[in-house]
């Protein structure tokens, strides 16, 4: 999946030691560019992405995986980033022209109304 917006906050890096060795995680908050913007906290694990090269209030396109897991009867959901591309925004994409099927296109060309191609 992909999500587009601007990074509004980069949270402090977290480090720890697990049974598989040391780990580190960095979270950031992304605000979507919709009519009603939403804030999403996204995690980056390990050294996959360097958030130091990305500033706040910068438009980005983030490739994410969403995963939920159950622990002691409660469900927890993670949003993990696997790619961040700078400078792409929903507002910068060229508009996609509306598709008009060929049979309706002919109807728009005639001034007398819709085409009636029925044999009876």
Q: Residue 89: its pLDDT value, please?
A: 47
Architecture of domain 2-87: Beta Barrel (2.40)
Question: 73 or 105, which is more confident?
Answer: 73
Helix (H) or strand (E) holding 104: helix 102-109
Note the pLDDT tens digit of each residue in 61-92. 999 999 999 999 999 999 999 988 887 544 44
* pLDDT surpassing 80 at residue 107: no
- Tell me the residue ranges of DSSP E strands in 11-116: 14-18, 21-32, 39-45, 59-71, 74-86
pTM of the predicted structure, to 2 decimals: 0.66
d(CA 96, CA 92): 12
Question: Region 18-22: what's the mean pLDDT?
Answer: 88
**Closest among 53, 71, 62, 10 to 33, alpha carbons compared:** 62
Task: Return the domain boundaries, the chain.
Answer: 2-87
Question: Region 18-41: what's the mean pLDDT?
Answer: 91
Q: Residue 100: its pLDDT value, please?
A: 52
């Amino acid at each position: 999946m992909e999500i587009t917006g601007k990074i509004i906050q980069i949270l402090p890096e977290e480090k720890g030691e697990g049974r598989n060795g040391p780990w580190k995680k960095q979270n950031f908050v992304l605000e979507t560019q919709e009519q009603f913007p939403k804030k999403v906290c996204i995690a980056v694990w390990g050294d996959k992405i360097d958030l130091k090269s990305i500033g706040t209030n910068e438009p980005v396109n983030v490739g994410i995986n969403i995963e939920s897991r159950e622990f002691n009867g409660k469900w927890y959901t993670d949003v993990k980033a696997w790619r961040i591309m700078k400078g792409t925004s929903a507002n910068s994409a060229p508009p996609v022209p509306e598709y008009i099927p060929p049979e309706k296109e002919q109807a728009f060309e005639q001034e007398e109304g819709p085409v009636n191609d029925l044999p009876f």
